Amino acid sequence: MQLTNEYDIVVAGAGIAGISAAVKAGSMGARVLLIEHYPFLGGMSSAGMVSPFMKSMAGDKELVNGVYKEVEAGMRKLGGMIDNGFYAWAFRSVANNLLSQNNVDIAYNTDVTDAFVEKGHIKYLTIATPHGLSKLYARQFIDTTGDAQLVALGKFPWLKGDEKTGQLQALTLFFRMGGIDVEKTAEYTKTHKEDFLPWMDFKYDFSKIISIAGYTGLIEKAKKEGRFPDEVDYVFFTTLPSSGEGAFNTTNILGIDPSTSSALTQAEQKGHEQVASITDFLNRDVPGFEKAFLIDTAVQVGIRETRRAKAQYMVTGDDILQAAKFDDVIARGCYGVDIHGQKGEKSRMDELEEGAWYDVPLRSLRAKDSENLMVAGRCIGATREGHAALRIQPTASATGEACGATAALAVKLNTSLDKVPYEKIRNELLHNIDA
Ligand SMILES: Cc1cc2nc3c(=O)[nH]c(=O)nc-3n(C[C@H](O)[C@H](O)[C@H](O)COP(=O)(O)OP(=O)(O)OC[C@H]3O[C@@H](n4cnc5c(N)ncnc54)[C@H](O)[C@@H]3O)c2cc1C
C-alpha cells in the first residue's frame, strides 16, 4: 500500500478511540490515514494489555454499540473474548480487519512530532517515519494519542492532572499468569472475606469471568518480611477465557509523571520489579497459586492520565454523577469517577445510581481555539473527575466514533467542524445515543 501525503482526515494514535474514529470516517467515504507510534494497533487495549472492557450497560440498556460492538463480536468469533475479558492478539486482529474493510490507510512506526498551525487551522503535521521526516496535509485532524499530543504540538490549551495538586493517577504494568487453580483460590476468599475488597460478593460462576481483589492479610505478612512492594495494597485479577489464566491489574507505580521519556523508563523498571515480587508472593503464599507461572507482562506500563485537551465544554464529575443530559449528545456512559490515587492521595470509585447514565456532549470533543481539531478517548475535554469516568474503553470508542462521524461530515459538506448541522451528526450516531 502506497501512502500519500494528503488525506481528508488524519487520526493520530491507534488506541481504541483512534481505531473507532478511523473506522467510522472510512465507512462514510472519507480518505483517512491512521498514524501509530507502534508497529501494531491498540494502545492501552493491546500494548497495555488492559482487559476487561469496563461496563457500558445501564440496567438492560447497552449504551455503546457501533464500532465497539463490531470489535467485541469479532473477538468472540475468534475465541479471543469471553464475557467482557479479551486477549490483546484478538483485539489487534479484529481492529486490523475493520480498518482494512473500511479503506483506512495506516502508518505504523510513525510519530507525529510537530503541527503547523495558521489562525487556528492545523495546516500540516510533521511525522517521523523509518524513512525520515515528512509533511502530512489534511482537512481535519483527530487527536487520539492518549497524551493530547496534537493539542500540545499545535499550542492549543490543555490540562494535566488534578486541578489543585497536579497529581496524576497511578500507573500499572499489567501481567498475565497461567496455571492458577481458580476454584481453590476462590474457596480461600470465602473463608477470609475480611481480606478482600468490599465490592466482592463471593458468588462465583466459573463459566464467566470472575474478579478477585484482596489477600490483604497475606500481603501484610509478606510486607513485614520485606518481600512485597510497599506501594501495592492488594492483588487484583480477572480470569481470562482459558481456564487457569488471570490478567493482573495489580502493580501500583507512584510518583511518576509519564509524559517524559526518563520518567517512563523509571516506571518500566519499577513495574518489572513489582511483577517479580508479586508473582513470587503469589506462588509462595496464596492458595491456588502454587503451580502458577508468569505468561507475559504488557509491552508498556499502563497510563491512566497525562495531558487532556481544553475543549469547548469540559465534562465535570458532577455531570457524571448527576447523570447530566446534553442537547448535543454524541455518546453515553455509565461508569463512575475512578481515580487510582497517587502518593498521599486516596483512591476513589464513585458510582452512578443503578440504571443511570450520562451524556457526553459534542463540545467536549472540540479542542478549544482550534478550527479543525477534535479529541477523543483519553484526550477528551473534561475536568480530572470527568476524565476519570470517560477514559474507559467503551466510552473511548464511542467518543472516537463521534469524532470520525463529525470530521467525515465536515469533509463531505465542505464546511468547518462547527458548521456541521448537529442533526446530521446525530443521525450517524443514533446507535450510541438513541438505542
Ligand atoms: C492500568 C489500566 C487499567 C485500566 N483498566 C480498564 C478496564 O479494566 N476497562 C476499561 O474499559 N478501561 C480500562 N482502562 C482505561 C483504558 O484502557 C484507556 O483509557 C483506553 O484504552 C484509552 O484509549 P485511547 O484510544 O484514548 O488511548 P491509548 O490506548 O493510550 O492509545 C493512544 C495511542 O496513540 C499512540 N501515540 C501516542 N503519541 C503518538 C504520536 N505522537 N504519534 C503517533 N502515535 C502516538 C500510542 O502509541 C497509542 O497506541 C485502564 C487503563 C489503565 C492504564
Residues 6 or more apart whose CB falls under 8 angstroms from that of 114 comprise 125, 126, 153
Q: Give the residue, out of 38, 50, 75, with the most ligand 1 atoms within 8 A of its beta carbon, to mutate for a pocket test.
A: 50
The response to whether residue 186 sits with its C-beta less than 6 Å from ligand 1 reads no
- pLDDT value at position 4? 84
User: Does residue 44 line the site of ligand 1, with CB under 6 A?
Assistant: yes
Query: Ligand 1 pocket, 333 CB below 6 A?
Result: no
350 Cβ contact partners less than 8 Å away, ≥ 6 residues apart: 317, 321, 336, 337
Ligand 1: which atom is nearest the Cα of residue 394? 11
Alpha-carbon distance of 222 to 423, in angstroms, equals 59
User: Ligand 1 centroid to 392 CA: how many Å?
Assistant: 9
Which residues, at least 6 apart from 435, have a Cβ–Cβ distance to it below 8 Å? 61, 62, 65
* Residue pLDDT tens, the chain, 435 long: 667 899 999 999 999 999 999 999 999 999 999 999 999 999 999 999 999 999 899 999 999 999 999 999 999 999 999 889 999 999 999 999 999 999 999 999 999 999 999 999 999 999 999 999 999 999 999 999 999 999 999 999 999 999 999 999 999 999 999 999 999 999 999 999 999 999 999 999 988 889 999 999 999 999 999 999 999 999 999 987 667 999 999 999 999 999 888 999 999 999 999 999 999 999 999 999 999 999 999 999 999 999 999 999 999 999 999 999 999 999 999 999 999 999 889 999 999 999 999 999 999 999 999 999 999 999 999 999 999 999 999 999 999 999 999 999 999 999 999 999 999 999 999 999 997
Q: Please give the distance, rounded to the nearest whole angstrom, from the Cα atom of residue 322 to the centre of ligand 1.
A: 26
174-185 per-residue burial string, b: 16 or more CB within 10 A, e: under 16: bbbbbbbbbeeb
Q: Is any atom of ligand 1 closer than 6 Å to the C-beta of 168?
A: no
Q: Which residue puts its alpha carbon closest to atom 33 of ligand 1? A: 13
Neighbours of 52 (CB within 10 A): 18
CA distance linking residue 335 with residue 271, whole number of Å: 27
What end-to-end distance do the CA atoms of the chain give, in Å?
Answer: 38
Q: Is the CB of 88 under 6 A from ligand 1?
A: no
Q: Whose CA is nearest to atom 51 of ligand 1?
A: 304
The DSSP H or E segment spanning 223 is helix 216-224
Task: Tell how far the Cα of 421 is from the centroid of ligand 1, in angstroms.
Answer: 30
Pocket test for ligand 1, best of 38, 44, 129, 308 (most atoms within 8 A of CB): 44
Supply the pLDDT for residue 1: 60
Distance of CA 95 from the midpoint of ligand 1 (Å): 15
Q: Which domains does the chain have, with CATH numbers?
A: 6-161+305-433 (3.50.50.60), 175-297 (no CATH)
Distances (CA, A) of 286 to 180, 280, 324: 10, 10, 44
Beta bridge partner(s), residue 126: 114, 135
Q: Whose CA is nearest to atom 19 of ligand 1?
A: 391
- The Å distance, Cα 52 to ligand 1 centre, comes to 13
48 lines ligand 1 (CB under 6 A): yes
CB of 189 within 6 A of ligand 1: the answer is no
- Any atom of ligand 1 within 6 Å of the Cβ of 20: no
Please give the distance, rounded to the nearest whole angstrom, from the Cα atom of residue 121 to the centre of ligand 1: 26
What is the reported pLDDT for 2?
67
pLDDT of residue 305: 97
Question: What does the DSSP assignment read for 7-75?
Answer: EEEEEE--BHHHHHHHHHHHHTT--EEEE-SSSSSBGGGTTT---SPPP-EETTEE---HHHHHHHHHH
35 Cβ closer than 6 Å to some ligand 1 atom: yes
φ, ψ dihedrals at 416, nearest 5°: -85, 165
Which atom of ligand 1 sits closest to the CA of residue 150?
41
Which residue's alpha carbon is nearest to atom 17 within ligand 1?
44
Closest CA to 363 of 413, 321, 417, 298: 417
Residue nearest (by alpha carbon) to ligand 1 atom 48: 43
For ligand 1, pick from 145, 305, 364, 384 the residue to mutate: most ligand atoms within 8 Å of CB.
145
Closest CA to ligand 1's atom 26: 377
The pairing of beta strand 246-248 with beta strand 175-178 = antiparallel
Q: Is the CB of 85 under 6 A from ligand 1?
A: no
